[in-house]
Amino acid sequence: MLSKRLVDAINDQINYELESSYLYLSMSAYAEATDYLGSAAFFKKQAQEEVGHAMKFFGFLNETGNRVLLAGIKGPEVEFEGFGDLYRKALEHEKTVTARIHNLVDIAAEDKSHEASSFLRWYVDEQVEEEATFNMIVGKLKFVEGSKQGEYLLDKEIGSRA
């Protein structure tokens, strides 16, 4: 049985994953409106992944006999200061997600919840991958930022990942 504290934290994370999806969808819309079509496709894929993450938590709570309680989702940021701003903000967002996952792992450890600890391992690994992806893109920005041609080529490369 999961503690109330852990169930509440997972329910909060479900909501945060859905907010993350909404943020990435907003980033996709901005990218498309500014003709960064590779980034638009990339962020759309990220948005779908975040819904998948929320649904994994959703399923875990149900499988462990706990209740999923959804909350309202706040509106995402809709204006950005260009191509690079999208990726710097996405990296910062992923760092926040990582901290939240680590908090869940800490709660599971304190509660001696072996089932939650096992379940959360996937998210720890996933966040390493997410941060690495955005760190790589932000690292490449220093070579191209301010160059429309460079941004175009990086956008095209990012789009190929989608």
| Residue ranges at the known binding site for Fe cation | 17, 50, 53, 94, 127
Distance CA 118, CA 109 (A): 10
The per-residue pLDDT for 146 is 87
Q: Can you tell me the distance from the alpha carbon of 29 to that of 43, in angstroms, rounded to the nearest whole number?
A: 9
Q: Binding site: what residues are annotated?
A: 17, 50, 53, 94, 127
Using alpha carbons only, give the angle 13, 69, 58 rounded to the nearest 5 degrees. Answer: 55
Distance of alpha carbon 50 from alpha carbon 43, whole angstroms: 10
> pLDDT value at position 30?
98
For 27, counting Cβ atoms within 10 Å of its Cβ (0-12 exposed, 13-18 middle, 19+ buried), the class is: buried
Local structure of 162: helix, strand or coil = coil
- Integer Cα distance of 112 and 88 in angstroms: 36
DSSP states of 96-112: HHHHHHHHHHHHHHHTT
Domain-by-domain residue ranges, the chain?
4-161
Determine whether domain 4-161 maps to CATH 1.20.1260.10. Answer: yes
Residue 23: φ, ψ to 5°: -60, -45
Q: What is the pLDDT of residue 1?
A: 85
pLDDT at 9: 98
In this prediction, the residues of the chain whose per-residue pLDDT falls under 70 are none
